[in-house]
Amino acid sequence: QLQLQESGSGLVKPSQTLSLTCTLSGGSISHGGYSWAWIRQSPGKGLEWLGSITHTGNTYYKSSLKSRVSISVDWSENQFSLTVTSVTGADTAVYYCAREGVVENWFDPWGPGISVTVSS
Amino acid sequence: EIVLTQSPGTLSLSPGERATLSCRASQSVSNSYLAWYQQKPGQTPRLLIYGASSRATGIPDRFSGSGSGTDFTLTISRLEPEDFAIYYCQQRTNWPPERAFGQGTKLEIK
């Protein structure tokens, strides 16, 4: 059974770079039927898709965040990563990684999430 | 960019009642690309429905999805105590390649 686990720094200073990694267990990141996504949820708010990376390494991002967000994949470690540059308090959120269906639209499963606070 | 608007913002019902949650898209969405999620406090979102009407693995049949074009509905036929949560709809577009969530409907116990 596929499981995802986020890891990374839970505290980032304003203007610095947020970096998170999602590690898969029980499945391969190179599986052709899926993409891999990052989604966040600000305190008390709804869900916001940040971007996704396909099994071939193609990426697509939320248009309003495109200049600051980057997703990459490490095939050998079976993990994918998120970086968000020039962070502000608005980037404080719980960050989730998730598997994304390719043919049909869904996110499942999700990692448990990692809380990231932007503060000096 | 497609915007998803969910209504109502909050729905107050009693166990045993029927819940009807709405999701309206700002432009037509392919049925294949409309999904619903449930999120309970402190928990990860859970996929309920994909393809507008297909239940995800392990989802009870009291949950059903319907709709097409710009109007979609999640129906819970008979509310159980564990169904009180926040529900999100979600869609994707192939060009531009974006995904978006609605703002959520909170289903609370009356």
Contact B101 A108 (CB under 8 A): no
CA separation for the pair A100, A92 (Å, rounded) = 23
Q: Is B31 on the interface with A (CB under 8 A)?
A: no
Contact A48 B101 (CB under 8 A): yes
In angstroms, the Cα distances linking A8 to A15, A49, A82 are 17, 19, 10
Q: Is B65 on the interface with A (CB under 8 A)?
A: no
Chain B neighbors of A105, CB-CB under 8 A: 32-35, 50-51, 90-92, 99
| Average pLDDT value over all residues in chain A | 95
The reported pLDDT for the residue numbered B34 is: 94
Peptide bond just before A14 cis, omega within 30 deg = no
3-state secondary structure of A65: helix
Q: Please, what sign has the CA dihedral across residues A50, A90, A108, A83?
A: positive
In angstroms, the Cα distances linking A57 to A70, A72, A75, A77 are 12, 7, 10, 14
For the record, the structure tokens of B66 come out as 């319907």
The angle formed by the CA atoms of residues A70, A73 and A78, to the nearest 5 degrees, is 145
Question: Higher pLDDT residue, A56 or B60?
Answer: B60
Q: For A12-71, what is each residue's pLDDT tens digit?
A: 999 999 999 999 999 999 888 899 999 999 998 999 999 999 988 999 999 999 999 999
CA separation for the pair A88, A86 (Å, rounded) = 7
Q: For A30-41, what is each residue's pLDDT tens digit?
A: 888 899 999 999
Q: Tell me the mean pLDDT in the region B17-40.
A: 93
The reported pLDDT for the residue numbered A44 is: 87
For residue A80, which amino acid is it?
F
B 69-88 → A contacts, CB under 8 A: 88
CA separation for the pair A79, B110 (Å, rounded) = 44
CA separation for the pair A120, A11 (Å, rounded) = 9
Contact B101 A105 (CB under 8 A): no
pLDDT tier for residue B94 given thresholds of 50, 70 and 90: confident
